[in-house]
Amino acid sequence: MSNAREQIKLLFTNPILLSCIFSWLSAQFLKTMIKLFSRKVHSFKELFELFFWRTGGMPSSHSALVTTLCTTIGFRSGINSDVFILSIGFLLVTVRDAVGVRRASGIQAMFLNKIGQKLSEKGIMDYKPIKEVQGHRPAEVAIGCLLGFFIGLAFSVLK
C-alpha cells in the first residue's frame, strides 16, 4: 500500500504534469480575463464555465498545454527520445484540429443553425439548434503555443 501512495505522490509532483496543469490554467485565466475586460461575460455562471471549461478564444489552452508538454518532455527526455517524438505528433494533431477541423465544424454548425431557425420561423419544420463548437483562429493558437513554450521552458529551467 505504501508503494501505491508513493506512486501517486510522484505523479502529482511530476514537473511535466504540474507544468501542463499550470499552462492550461494560465491560458484559461488569460482567456477569462480578456472576455471579462471586454465585457463579454454576463453572469457568474458564465465566468465559471469560461475559466474551467469553455473552449475557443484567446489564447488556445489546448495549444498551450500540448506545447508545454512537448517542451518539458524535450528538456527532460531529450529531443531524440521516442516520447518527445510522440509528443510532437500529439502537438501537431491538436493544433491542426484546433485551427482546422473544430473551427470548420463550428462555422458549419453556425450556418446550419441559421438555416434551421429560418425554416422553423416559416413553419416548414421544427428545428433544435446544434452545438456550435468553437475552434480557434491561427493567432489564438500561435499565442497559446508561445505561452505553452515559455511555461514549459520555465518549469524545465527553473527546477
pLDDT at position 1 is: 55
Count of domains in the chain?
A: 1
What residue type is 153 in one-letter code? Answer: L
Q: Which long-range contacts (CB under 8 A, 24 or more apart) does 91-97 make?
A: 91/66, 91/67, 94/62, 94/63, 94/66, 95/63, 95/66, 95/141, 95/145
pLDDT in tens, the chain (159 residues): 578 888 888 888 889 999 999 999 999 989 888 877 777 777 777 766 766 666 677 889 889 999 999 999 999 999 999 999 999 999 999 998 888 777 777 788 888 888 888 888 888 888 888 777 667 788 999 999 999 999 999 999 986
What residue type is 112 in one-letter code? Answer: L
pLDDT at position 20 is: 95
Whole-model pTM?
0.77
Residue with cell 453556425: 110
Q: Which domain holds residue 102?
A: 2-157
- CA dist 97 and 78 (Å) reads 26
Who contacts 49 (Cβ-Cβ below 8 Å, separation ≥6)? none
